[in-house]
Amino acid sequence: MLTAIILAAGEGKRMKSDRTKVLHKVAGTTMISRIVSAMRLSSSVHSIYVVASPNNAQSLEHELQSESLVQIVVQKEALGTAHAVQSVPLNDITTSHVLVMNGDHPLIEASDVGELFQNYEKNNLPHALVGCELEFPEHYGRLKIDTKSRLTKVVEFKDATDDEKKINLINTGIYIFEKEGLEKSISKVQPSSVTNEYYLTQLVELLQPHFGVIVGAPHLAHGVNTPDALMQAQSFVFQKKATQLLNEGVRVWDPLHCYVEPQVKLEADVELQPGVFLSGSTSVGFGTLIESGVRISNSSIGPKSHIKAYSVIEDSELEAENSVGPMAHLRSKTTLQAKVHIGNFVETKKSLFKKEAKCGHHSYIGDATIGERANIGAGTITCNYAADKKKYETKIGNDVFVGTDTKFIAPVEIGNNAITAAGSTITKDVPEKALAVARARQKNIENYHK
């Protein structure tokens, strides 16, 4: 079994951001949460330490509060990756092995951890780092291999000679150590003469000849030090999801412009036009068409629905065969039963539309229940927010016909089959089957034009 140590105390200056580096998001999830959940989901990991800085410890604590296996330790000063490992009470670790990795490699998954540990065990060396051969090795540390194919040294890019910079085999910053060897040698690391930092990579030399290389998949090598690298990581995650969806029978029109977070669930024959964003706990049932520019978060969309261009749906539940948009905004706790139609420029919030209700144009429906087959005319507003700063409900029965430009001053209830005349401001309940007219009578003044 492994104890994982994730290093996240670096200043992350190259990100040019106020936010601490590992709290930048990749496809909706922070880098640190992605790594921690890869560790938690791997059956090889027993417990997890995250090394934080005095500045980011509180925000990391907050971000990881629901992660039971995690303990946060603080590195008082960012003096380098080896110094960061020294902040962990290695003495308390009960597993025989320790995996150390940088908190800025967000593409690792649980299956990678298991695979790396298996490869480590085949290697028969007490310590190993994960290396990777890259066509463009950029600023990563280079692995120096001797004539007997043994790893002798990691040279940091900053310290490398021109010849060393030509080496394509790089350090991913993922290591597996025998716990005892790590504990004995970590305090022996000396600061770099160039940067004065304590490099974890110096252990390769200190633990000679017991240090091997495990070759890892290229996504493990992707470290995020700059905004550009963050966006590359995000594209990788979105494109991987798009490929998976295509294999599962989802019609992704343009996999390069498909922004579906990994945990989102889509059934076969869902069709995604370019530029759709699906996030959080969203699910979409079979045969639903989602047009360009739609954003859906934490919502379930039933089968055979049609979500038209540029609509936004948040924290809502839609049953089957609904049609929404274009440019509709379904805010939190909107529920649509089957075959509801919500048209353009309609905003809804905390409202239930029963089956086959229609609200086609320019309306605000909040804190409301709309009955079956009710027809809500253009420009209808539920006036749910009163001067006492409380919200009140509007209840509209089955088969009600709401005339254009009706205002409902909540709380108010409209009986089944009632009708409101266009332009009415409804302040009183309306009985079943009644016609409510609440507007000034028209007066024509003859010969007014001079």
Min dist. Cβ of residue 118 to ligand UD1 (A): 22
Q: Per rule CB under 5 A, is residue 325 in the interface with Mg ion? A: no
Site string for Mg ion, 174-213 (x = CB under 5 A): ----------------------------------------
Q: Per rule CB under 6 A, is residue 201 in the interface with ligand UD1? A: yes
Q: Per rule CB under 5 A, is residue 156 in the interface with Mg ion? A: no
Q: Per rule CB under 6 A, is residue 140 in the interface with ligand UD1? A: yes
Min dist. Cβ of residue 161 to ligand UD1 (A): 16
Q: Which stretch binds ligand UD1 (CB under 6 A): 195-203, 297-305, 352-360, 375-383?
A: 195-203
Site string for ligand UD1, 86-115 (x = CB under 6 A): ----------------xxx-----------
Nearer to Mg ion, 12 or 212 (CB): 12
Q: How many residues contact ligand UD1, by CB under 6 A? A: 28
Per-residue CA distances from 176 to 97, 195, 321, 434 (Å): 7, 25, 52, 77
For ligand UD1, which residue of 2, 5, 8, 313 counts as binding (CB under 6 A)?
A: 8
* Contact of residue 8 among Mg ion, ligand UD1, none (CB under 5-8 Å per partner type): ligand UD1
Q: Are 284 and 266 in contact (CB under 8 A)?
A: yes
Nearer to Mg ion, 223 or 366 (CB): 223
For ligand UD1, which residue of 173, 285, 293, 366 counts as binding (CB under 6 A)?
A: 173
Q: Per rule CB under 6 A, is residue 330 in the interface with ligand UD1? A: no
Q: Per rule CB under 6 A, is residue 284 in the interface with ligand UD1? A: no
Task: Give yes or no for a cis peptide into 326 (omega within 30° of 0).
Answer: yes
Q: Which stretch binds ligand UD1 (CB under 6 A): 161-169, 193-201, 282-290, 309-317?
A: 193-201
Q: Per rule CB under 5 A, is residue 47 in the interface with Mg ion? A: no
Q: Per rule CB under 5 A, is residue 223 in the interface with Mg ion? A: yes
SS (H, E, C) the chain: CEEEEEECCCCCHHHCCCCCHHHCEECCEEHHHHHHHHHHHCCCEEEEEEEECCCCHHHHHHHCCCCCCEEEEECCCCCCHHHHHHCCCHHHCCCCEEEEEECCCCCCCHHHHHHHHHHHHHHCCCEEEEEEECCCCCCCCEEEECCCCCEEEEECHHHCCHHHHCCCEEEEEEEEEEHHHHHHHHHHCCECCCCCCECHHHHHHHCCCCEEEEECCHHHHCCCCCHHHHHHHHHHHHHHHHHHHHHCCCEECCHHHEEECCCCEECCCCEECCCEEEECCCEECCCCEECCCCEEECCEECCCCEECCCCEEECCEECCCCEECCCCEECCCEEECCCCEEEEEEEEEEEEECCCCEEEEEEEEEEEEECCCCEECCCCEEECECCCCCECCEEECCCCEECCCCEEECCEEECCCCEECCCCEECCCECCCCEECCCCCCCCCCCCCC
* Contact of residue 78 among Mg ion, ligand UD1, none (CB under 5-8 Å per partner type): ligand UD1
Question: By CB under 5 A, what part of segment 81-110 binds Mg ion?
Answer: 104
Catalytic residue among 257, 306, 361, 362: 361
Q: Per rule CB under 6 A, is residue 200 in the interface with ligand UD1? A: yes
**Among this protein's residues, is 361 annotated catalytic?**
yes
Task: Give yes or no for a cis peptide into 255 (omega within 30° of 0).
Answer: no
Q: How many residues contact Mg ion, by CB under 5 A? A: 3
Min dist. Cβ of residue 141 to ligand UD1 (A): 2
For ligand UD1, which residue of 106, 212, 216, 223 counts as binding (CB under 6 A)?
A: 223
Min dist. Cβ of residue 163 to ligand UD1 (A): 17
Token representation of residue 299: 């919502």
* Contact of residue 7 among ligand UD1, Mg ion, none (CB under 5-8 Å per partner type): ligand UD1
Token representation of residue 398: 């089955």
Give the Cα separation of 290 and 275 in Å (integer). 10
Q: Per rule CB under 6 A, is residue 285 in the interface with ligand UD1? A: no
Give the Cα separation of 383 and 364 in Å (integer). 9
* Contact of residue 288 among ligand UD1, Mg ion, none (CB under 5-8 Å per partner type): none
Footprint of ligand UD1 on this chain (CB under 6 A)?
7-10, 51, 75, 78-81, 83-84, 102-104, 140-141, 154, 156, 170-173, 199-201, 223, 225
Q: Which residues are the active-site residues?
A: 361
Footprint of Mg ion on this chain (CB under 5 A)?
104, 223, 225
